[in-house]
């Protein structure tokens, strides 16, 4: 059962790349969650240089609800670049981010809010993850690698269901433009001494569109950014 706690202000950040088929429903779900869980909210959808009508759909949603805001990147820069653009542009005290692919129930934002007294960073972990076996194995191996290299003990590092205090994000350097950003945020939060709370979240199959997370160039960039951050953290610079 989802929590019912409200907060004073919530930014919901959603990166979108060629999500024309999903972004209407995603904007509505985010707006509904904002109304339910926050006195003041915004929905920030970052179009990562989509080749389809994603941006047009978001403009239509914004015309219906001015709390929906479009940030449009002129060309595709990658998941990390889209997410950090939205995070840095968020204006509310609490910032939540998720994907536009409708694989999560945004009503569970309430469950994350229940933990904000315990930690400034609250992250979901997927229960009964609805991805194919190959992606699950890749995620397991990636998580084990983070434990070995960084000692990062988080159940589901790349789960796209995270809530962070805005002041924590604003003080944080973020360099990753790719899928490694999720790990980078958690590592920098830990390095700054912030507690990280974890909450189980339901996961659903993608109904439309396709994910780019398993593409070879995405994986190559993630490993490159991993080694760059490891060198930075070890050098203390």
What is the CB-side half-sphere exposure of residue 195 using CA atoms within 13 A? 8
pLDDT confidence of 144, banded at 50, 70, 90?
confident
pLDDT of 120 above 70: yes
Q: 12-48 pLDDT, tens per residue?
A: 999 999 999 999 999 999 999 999 999 999 999 999 9
Average pLDDT over residues 113-133: 86
The arrangement of strands across the sheet holding 121-127 comes to 68-73, 38-48, 7-16, 94-98, 161-165, 121-127, 196-202
Mean residue pLDDT of the chain comes to 87
As assigned by CATH, the class of the 7-235 domain is: alpha beta
pLDDT at 152: 79
Per domain, the residue ranges of the chain are: 7-235
pLDDT at 178: 77
What tokens does 46 get?
A: 């970052």
Average pLDDT over residues 117-127: 95
Q: Which residue has the higher pLDDT, 21 or 224?
A: 21
pLDDT at 138: 66
pLDDT of 228 above 90: no
Pick the closest to residue 192 from 224, 167, 220 (CA basis): 167
Predicted model pTM: 0.85
Q: Which residue has the higher pLDDT, 45 or 137?
A: 45
Q: 161-186 pLDDT, tens per residue?
A: 999 999 999 999 988 887 788 889 99
């Amino acid at each position: 059962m989802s929590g019912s706690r409200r907060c004073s202000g919530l930014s919901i950040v959603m990166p979108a790349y060629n999500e024309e088929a999903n972004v209407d429903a995603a904007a509505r779900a985010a707006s509904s969650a904002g109304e339910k869980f926050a006195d003041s909210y915004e929905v920030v959808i970052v179009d990562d240089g989509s080749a389809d009508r994603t941006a047009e759909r978001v403009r239509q949603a914004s015309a219906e609800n001015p709390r929906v805001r479009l940030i449009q990147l002129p060309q595709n820069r990658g998941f990390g670049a889209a997410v950090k653009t939205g995070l840095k542009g968020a204006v509310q005290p609490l910032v939540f981010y998720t994907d536009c692919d409708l694989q999560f129930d945004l009503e569970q934002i309430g469950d994350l809010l229940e933990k904000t007294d315990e930690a400034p960073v609250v992250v979901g972990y997927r229960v009964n993850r609805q991805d194919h076996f190959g992606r699950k194995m890749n995620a397991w191996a990636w998580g084990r690698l983070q434990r070995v290299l960084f000692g990062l003990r988080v159940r589901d590092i790349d789960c796209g269901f995270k809530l962070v205090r805005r002041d924590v994000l604003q003080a944080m350097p973020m360099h990753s433009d790719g899928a490694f950003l999720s790990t980078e945020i958690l590592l920098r939060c830990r390095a700054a001494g912030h507690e990280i709370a974890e909450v189980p979240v339901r996961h659903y199959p993608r109904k439309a569109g396709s994910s780019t997370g398993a593409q070879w160039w995405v994986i190559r960039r993630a490993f490159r950014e991993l080694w760059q951050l490891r060198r930075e953290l070890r050098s203390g610079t």
